[in-house]
Structure 1
């Protein structure tokens, strides 16, 4: 099918969210504490609707179940990827995700959660949490029991355009003043390790200390990030990461460039600028899928995209 599948994002209120999803992307947010835009998702907790075309009004999960040929007949019960934009006005909890094996056993057969972050924007002094300083599970448990959070947690400064891969077992947190695009496995499982003793509706949010300790990798392992780019006549393709679950690229187009769609399917998010894709207007904040066998496609304009595929 030579048809662009344009998606309607799902927007979610969060205790730590803000209003930048309206200000930056012109989304109709539900409130001024909107933290997440589920931009490409077939997950039951946020299933995107198809905006127009042959399948207008159908959900992405319906399309996955009923027209698998559009996704290269990839196997699996669940659509494998989920793309979000996250507006962290204040700090997210310090957390960790399980891998597929642990989630299958402990979370009713759900997928684990490997994810990656592209920093769309951040405050000048912004930081994130990635990793910890414990050398063993015993030291990890001891530091958690004694609430030595400042000694345990690894903070790092960030800048716009930075990229991070967050493998299962990695202690991590997005902190306030950060706007990111996240590409991940289609999973909504998060184990909360520490939440700064915040209250929600007068009560502390649930922590998951036992499961967190189970899955945290000790000692912390750094992930090597791809640093490859392909220069075309009117575009540059930057490979950000290629792992078992996804390949993620940043594509910058200035002019007119033709690309080939040779994957089972490809997910696109316009993160800056505007232009045309095969004579269809696209702009910052649009998210869409090019299905299997789409063939060559032409991008024209001045725009920046995050592209992901299996």
Structure 2
């Protein structure tokens, strides 16, 4: 059987699953039967060395996404980034994640062997009743921030906010944050795996506390905290309603509700797509909840049909 060219089909990807001390069965409950009992993360669209997705279809089936990006940049609009710039995860937090912060590009380049920084965002897919997250802190300046961290005054420092299904949060570098237990979300981020842990509730992993990064955290956390606010923008088209959740220097994220048939001309270098509910078809390829794919630059005319919700991101 001849492999199909990506001029008429999407690039389907095999997710990479990762266990975590805070993981559990939320990813299985979402529909990922292959996830382990302690799974915490599904890396759905990734060319990062820590979780490089395998291509499932077409002329490069069996190859890694990083290989495809390095050797066939025409599929990604010939963008000049040294590495595939984005990473999309679904995170299922059975327990609380550590309280943490990410560096910006400049700090990561200097201190993390040239890595990208980590700007990310969260869309809440589901959560337990009365769920919350940590986002931001209460220190008035860097000195008070350092004092609170060094003295372990966590209840004074951290800022906890309630969440519900459908909420959205942009997490810029320097923002103190943590996903708390009972939360399922989809995360769109720069392709980086740099996390500085500030506090981990004195948990033990293999009998030892996990490493903290207090100096780096104090270096990176912005003080005082300022909430990030951006208006959601809704557009309606025949067969599809879109909601733009954020547009920042690294990505634009939209939620598409497709009900019927929707056709569009692809004018982006590439489009990341993750189906978070429902099922349908794109250019004749079946797609359903939990599947991740890329619409390459070479696929100009796209036709989606069915009843499904898709998270869309692009540079």
TM-score band, normalised by shorter chain: over 0.9
Unmatched runs of 5 consecutive residues or more in structure 2: 1-6
- Pairs within 5 Å for 1:135-284: 135-284=140-289
Q: 1:54 aligns to what SS in structure 2? A: helix
Structure 2 equivalent of residue 292 of structure 1: 297
Structure 2 equivalent of residue 76 of structure 1: 81
CA offsets per residue over residues 205-234 of structure 1, 9 Å max, x none?
A: 000000000000010111112310101122
Question: Within 2, Cα distance between the matches of 1:298 and 1:3?
Answer: 10
Alignment counterpart, residue 48 of structure 2, candidates 33, 37, 43: 43
Q: 1:105 aligns to what SS in structure 2? A: helix
CA contact (8 A) 2:9 2:283 kept: no
Structure 2 equivalent of residue 13 of structure 1: 19
Structure 2 equivalent of residue 107 of structure 1: 112
Q: 1:142 aligns to what SS in structure 2? A: helix
Question: Within 1, Cα distance between the matches of 2:179 and 2:161?
Answer: 11
Q: 1:69 aligns to what SS in structure 2? A: helix
CA contact (8 A) 1:164 1:225 kept: no
Question: Within 1, Cα distance between the matches of 2:295 and 2:213?
Answer: 38
Question: Within 2, Cα distance between the matches of 1:110 and 1:90?
Answer: 28
Deviation at 1:293, TM superposition (A): 3.5
CA offsets per residue over residues 74-108 of structure 1, 9 Å max, x none?
A: 01221100000000000000000000000000000
Question: Within 1, Cα distance between the matches of 2:252 and 2:120?
Answer: 11
Unmatched runs of 5 consecutive residues or more in structure 1: none
Tell me how large the CA RMSD over aligned residues is.
Answer: 0.8
CA contact (8 A) 2:26 2:93 kept: no
Deviation at 1:299, TM superposition (A): 1.1
Structure 1 equivalent of residue 29 of structure 2: 23
Q: 1:169 aligns to what SS in structure 2? A: coil
TM-score, with length taken from structure 1: 0.98
Structure 1 range deviating more: 258-267 or 184-193: 258-267
CA contact (8 A) 2:9 2:285 kept: no
Structure 2 equivalent of residue 124 of structure 1: 129
Deviation at 1:260, TM superposition (A): 2.1
Question: Within 2, Cα distance between the matches of 1:68 and 1:25?
Answer: 32
Question: Within 1, Cα distance between the matches of 2:64 and 2:231?
Answer: 33
TM-score, with length taken from structure 2: 0.97
Question: Within 1, Cα distance between the matches of 2:172 and 2:32?
Answer: 31
